[in-house]
Amino acid sequence: MKRFFLLSIFVSIFVPGRAQVALLPSPDAKSLGMGGLSMTTLSGAHAIYDNPAMAAFSSTPAQIASSYCGAGDADYYAVTGYWRFDNFNLTQIGWRQFLRERGNNDMAVDLGYSRRIGDRWAVGAITRYMHLKRPEGSSDALAADLSVGWMLPVRLGAFSSVRAGAKLSNLGGYFKKQDYSLPMNFTVGAALDTYLSDAHEITVGADFGYCFSPSAARGCQVALGAEYNLMQLVQFRAGYHYGERQVVPSYASVGAGLRILHLRLDFAYLFAGKETFLHNTYSISFGFDF
């Protein structure tokens, strides 16, 4: 059976023993442009797929966003939105669809809630319904993600802040007993934002993740990323992602972003080996802040 992997989109991994694992990574071009950094993202296009708790720290009342990821013959689409009830409560929704060869058509719908606790902490919870369509049949699953975020202003440069976050993903399973399983992941990360002046901001961060179930997909991942923000208008990004056991291959990435009034546009491109499924992978994200 042919193996096909794609980090930047909704993926199915075929492993020995007829076991199948469905991965649901973030399609956010901002995250991918920084090596897959996702636990501390404040203003990404798809907070529900990064760390939902961090969205509670955002000052934007509402946002809608969409992304497209492509590699080879695969196409992946995502649409998300969030709405803030007040300064402490926020709800999120997301839809993803992955189209690839041989009649595979995978879809996921996510619903989430985030709450800010005081000035420093926030928590988030996501529920997810997945439908996997294969030539031999289809499968359905339910899962949940739990996340936490923390942010602290610090004295460094004109203004700085330290952020940290963690997420436990894919707590759940399929409706019927079968040779499919959900990859249970735990990821932690930290980042530093600092303004060199009113016009120049730099962000650096790192994530560490580990997939501990099932054993066929077990392994760790490390993401390192940086962003330079010019006048809150133009962003330049770069990063590196290390993946263990070829569950997700290692790659380098670059990206750019543009902010015009309430519009957001982000792009990311991954540099991976020609022998890997991530070769020539790219992502485009578009968002609108209300």
The predicted structure's pLDDT at residue 226: 98
What's the CA angle centered on 267, arms 2 and 231, to 5 degrees?
160
Count of CB atoms situated within 10 Å of the CB of 255: 26
Beta bridge partners of 111: 93, 127
Tell me which residue of 143, 87, 153 sits closest to 115, measured CA to CA. 87
pTM, 2 dp: 0.88
The predicted structure's pLDDT at residue 103: 65
The predicted structure's pLDDT at residue 179: 67
Query: Helix or strand or coil: residue 262?
Result: coil
172: left (phi over 0), alpha (psi -120 to 50) or beta: left
Tens-level pLDDT at each residue, the chain (290 residues): 233 233 333 333 333 333 344 444 578 999 999 999 999 988 777 889 999 999 999 888 999 999 998 876 778 899 999 999 999 999 999 999 988 766 678 899 999 999 999 999 999 999 999 988 877 778 899 999 999 999 999 987 678 999 999 999 999 988 876 666 788 889 999 999 999 888 999 999 999 999 888 777 788 999 999 999 999 999 999 999 998 865 678 899 999 999 999 999 999 999 988 877 778 889 999 999 98
The predicted structure's pLDDT at residue 174: 84
Beta bridge partners of 141: 130, 174
Taking the C-alpha atoms of residue 53 and residue 245, their distance in angstroms, rounded to an integer, is 29
Q: Which residues contact 109 (CB under 8 A, 6 or more apart)?
A: 93, 94, 95, 128, 129
Task: Decide the pairing of beta strands 19-23 and 180-181.
Answer: parallel
The predicted structure's pLDDT at residue 168: 96
**Residue 165 tokens, joined:** 């976050």
Tell me which residue of 25, 59, 57 sits closest to 41, measured CA to CA. 57
Taking the C-alpha atoms of residue 101 and residue 187, their distance in angstroms, rounded to an integer, is 31
Beta bridge partners of 284: 68, 267
The predicted structure's pLDDT at residue 13: 34
Query: Helix or strand or coil: residue 261?
Result: coil
Q: Which residues contact 236 (CB under 8 A, 6 or more apart)?
A: 227, 228, 230, 255, 256
The predicted structure's pLDDT at residue 132: 84
The predicted structure's pLDDT at residue 4: 29
